Structure 1
Amino acid sequence: MEVSRHFIRLGQRRVHYRRCGNGPALLMVHQSPRSSAEYEPLMRTWGTHFTCIAPDTPGFGQSDPLPDPDASIDDFADALAELIDALGIGPVAAYGFHSGGIILVTALKRHPDKFRALAVGGYAIWTAEEMALFGEHYLPPFLPSAYGEHLTWLWNRMLEQSWFFPWFDVRSEARLSVAHADVARVNAAVMEMLDAGNAYRAGYGAVLRAPRDIPLVDAVTPPVLITAYDGDPLQAHIDRLGGMPKGWEARKVATPAEHQAASLAFLLPHAAGDAPPLVEAADGGFVRIETPSFTGLLHWRGQRGGPLHLVAPGSEADLTSTLGVAGKWLDLPGQGLADPWPGDPPTEWAAWQAVIEAAATALDATQVVLPTLPAGDPDRLFPDLTPDRFGSNLASAWAIVRARHLFDPWYEVGPATARAFTPDEVDPAALALEHRALLRATAARAYLTALRSSQGED
């Protein structure tokens, strides 16, 4: 089942969301510091029953942060209510996991008219001692450093969060039964932290500081189900919930599958209405392309019509769309936020040209503007950056984006290849954006090879 992606504007702030399925709307709120991407498999399953709508919460994924860096959980709840209104889906049934559940319960208390029912996976009730411990250690600043030292911390922090809870409590007593070293899972979490940057502290901090006051037993609210499975560190918190209002229930289950089944069974009778109309911004989004070699979503920024600018190999539309150039910028497959090619990216221009022509038609482009190409050997300009068990690809990519401001090509270091640069070019904050783009550009080498062949170069 297809998952589509969209942007909507709430004032000056862009919100990114995923959508899948048919039938009544189901709002799905992810945990921190993740994004709506974590729900794609579940959306494809539950999409047979609902129109699943999963936004990236403010500051995570591709959603802009709230303007106040000290925003409270009430601010995040109000932002969610504003999104419900903008999408025209209220009152709505909703599902949230961990911190996503905290945001939803807060939103339900502040805006009960926006919801039909909530299903929550794990609801934290911290003790005063736990709150003090988390406040001191759980959310350290995440700022890029000149030589990429922050990336070593990031990889190991995201790896070991399934080994210990809290992640920094490296003691036998804090070990978890769900420990893993799944490179794909760790890398997905790492990339989402790179998206959030230091803004993760605002969204995650608001959740950790949120009061855990379940409505009083005589309160009248939409119904809520809270479940937690074996191995979830929040399962023990089921016993801390105390009395709850009529229509609220909390129970322990054995497995993640049982948690999802119980949540689905609870939500089904509460969801209502037809599939909501699609609402999206006019200045960027995703376009679905079908060619003999590629079927998927391409990301674009700018305005429909006018010229279509192709981003350079290893770059992305989010880095170039602010340059004030008329038209729009496009991420091709395996670049930026676009879907990857199925299998190995093609080096023949025909496959790329077919995708470009289809995108130009879909976006009403008047012409296609090719990028300026870097000089050098494609294999050396864009080496394999596939994640490994130790996250060494992160450090390699950082070294590349730093060196390419100092030498051209970056891998030939000496007086003859030195290039003029300004200190701003190697500012860690600027390098962090290029670093993320390079890690996403899994097809950069093939794209460069194909572009050169289209221009008669070897």
Structure 2
Amino acid sequence: MSKSRIVTIDDQKLHFYTMGKGPALVMMHPSPSSAESLLPLAKELAENFTVFCVDTPGYGKSDPLVKKPENLRDYTRFLNKAFFKLGLEKPALYGSATGAQLAIRYGLEYPEAVSHIFLDNSAHFDDDLRDKVLKNYFPDLTPKINGNHLDIIWTMVSQMFQFFPWCFTTEEYALNRPQMPLVVLQMVAMDYLKAGEHYDVAYKAAFKHEKGEFVQQLKIPTTIFRWNNSIITPYIDSLLAFELPSNINGFYIEGDAAERSMKMTSFMNSISKQIPIHTIKESAMEVLPDEQVIYVKPTTYPPKIEATGKYLHDAWNQLVLSNTHLNAKAIQESLVDWYSSNSE
């Protein structure tokens, strides 16, 4: 069973879930989600690793960095202090998407402090595509009291599994795959709502870092997972097409999501025997105080999820009518809590 914990560095809280036994494995999530998204995989790895699923600063339950990060080094510098305080002397790192770029940068900055890196959804983008993504992929999602930002979020979420990048809807970028179930779209929409107006800070920094040249520079054992059903498979292939040193290897997975999880878990567990075990400093971990969202909750269940996204507006309007004293940011927090507390 996972424990929700924090470690405090310079008055800033880094939140993580921890579970399991064995050598340390730090897991870092995609943007704009949180460590919660990694818990199913973490539970599969917990028999062979002591797993730490970390909320990137500014996401999930972690405080944002005091100074707005300019690049991934600002994150890895803070993470290094936190890992040192926790006694994570030479953990393995797993990262997906933004988390993968954090793992790469951490390995470049602190090669002596990492035993193995597992890269999931790590890619290479050429400069032209990267520039277009940075200009179009990250709209302003500042909460508006009229709820109009919800339309942008639902457009992003709906197109995300149909096109990559989501913002380019021509055939060149079409994924030609079935739309995800509504429950998945709802989950991703909630990730954006939870992350709030600063959802793009680590996200943008990661896109700027998504270059094969950085991976080539890694000196420690590294595994790049290549899954044929990823929405960025062509760009993972672009990364694997680089001339990579012998310490970096691709691990190819066919099949569906269940096979992906099974094969990744099996491979990572086999590597656990090569990871040194260090004494983790339990005394450095603190329990995160409970924070309750204060608002007037409508007596009915929130509107049912539907494909147009109109349900989000309906829920938003109900909360605004019941909480006329709250600003848009507080309404957004209430919306997330209302759906979370009725997730069944």
TM-score in terms of structure 1 length: 0.67
Any stretches of 5+ residues in structure 2 without a counterpart?
none
The question of whether the paired residues in 1 share the 8 Å contact of 2:85 and 2:281 is answered with no
Correspondence 1:97 to 2:96: yes
Moved beyond 6 Å, runs of 4+? none
Choose which of 427, 442, 458 in structure 1 pairs with 2:342: 442
* Greater C-alpha radius of gyration: 1
Structure 1 window deviating more from structure 2 (125-134 vs 427-436): it is: 427-436
Structure 1 unmatched ranges of 5 or more: 286-299, 302-316, 321-372, 407-424, 444-458
Choose the corresponding residue for 1:270, options 267, 270, 274: 274
Q: Does 1:385 align with 2:311?
A: no
Whole-Å separation in 2 of the counterparts to 1:216 and 1:96: 13
Distance 2:321 2:196 in 1: 22
Counterpart contact for 2:222–2:248, Cα < 8 Å: yes
Opposite residue 385 of structure 1, the aligned amino acid is: P
Total equivalences in the alignment: 336
Change (3 A) 1:50 1:178: farther
Aligned 1:413-432 pairs, distance under 5 A: 425-432=325-332
Measured in 1, the distance between the counterparts of 2:68 and 2:268 equals 35
Question: Relative to 1, partners in 2 of residues 1:26 and 1:174: Cα closer, same or farther, differing over 3 Å?
Answer: same
Question: Kindly tell me: are residues 185 and 280 of structure 1, through their superposed partners in 2, closer, same or farther at Cα, counting changes over 3 Å?
Answer: farther
Counterpart of 1:52?
Answer: 51
Equivalent position of 1:404 in the other structure: 322
Match of 2:108 in 1: 109
2: CA distance, partners of 1:387 / 1:6:
33
Residues 10-61 of structure 1: CA deviation (Å, up to 9, x unaligned): 2222221111211111111111111111111111111111111110111211
CA contact (8 A) 1:20 1:52 kept: yes
Higher relative helix content = 2
Kept in 1: contact 2:8–2:82 (CA 8 A): no
Structure 1, 3-12 or 248-257: larger mean CA deviation: 248-257
- Equivalent residues of 1:225, 1:266 under 8 A apart: no
Displacement of 1:250 after TM fit?
A: 2.4
Q: Which residue of 2 aligns with 1:243?
A: 243
Report how far residue 253 of structure 1 moved.
2.8
Pair 239,263 (structure 1): closer, same or farther in 2 beyond 3 Å: farther
1:200-239 alignment, distance < 5 Å: 200-210=199-209, 212=211, 214=213, 221-236=219-234, 237-239=236-238
Q: Is the 8 A contact 1:238 1:250 kept in 2?
A: no
Query: Where do 1:273-312 residues align within 5 Å?
Result: 273=277, 276-279=280-283, 282=286, 285=288, 300-301=289-290
Q: Which has the higher contact order (CA 8 A, sep 6+)?
A: 2
Given that 1:77 and 1:106 are in contact with CA atoms closer than 8 Å, whether structure 2 keeps it comes out as: yes
TM-align CA RMSD: 2.7
Describe the superposition over 1:366-390 as per-residue Cα deviations: whole angstroms up to 9, x where unpaired: xxxxxxx97xxx9xx3211164133
Alpha-carbon distance in structure 2 between the residues aligned to 1:150 and 1:171: 24
What TM-score comes out, normalization by structure 2 length? 0.87
Change (3 A) 1:393 1:277: farther
In structure 2, distance between residues paired with 1:279 and 1:130: 46
Cα distance between partner residues in 2 of 1:81 and 1:228: 28
CA distance in 2, matches of 1:393, 1:275: 49
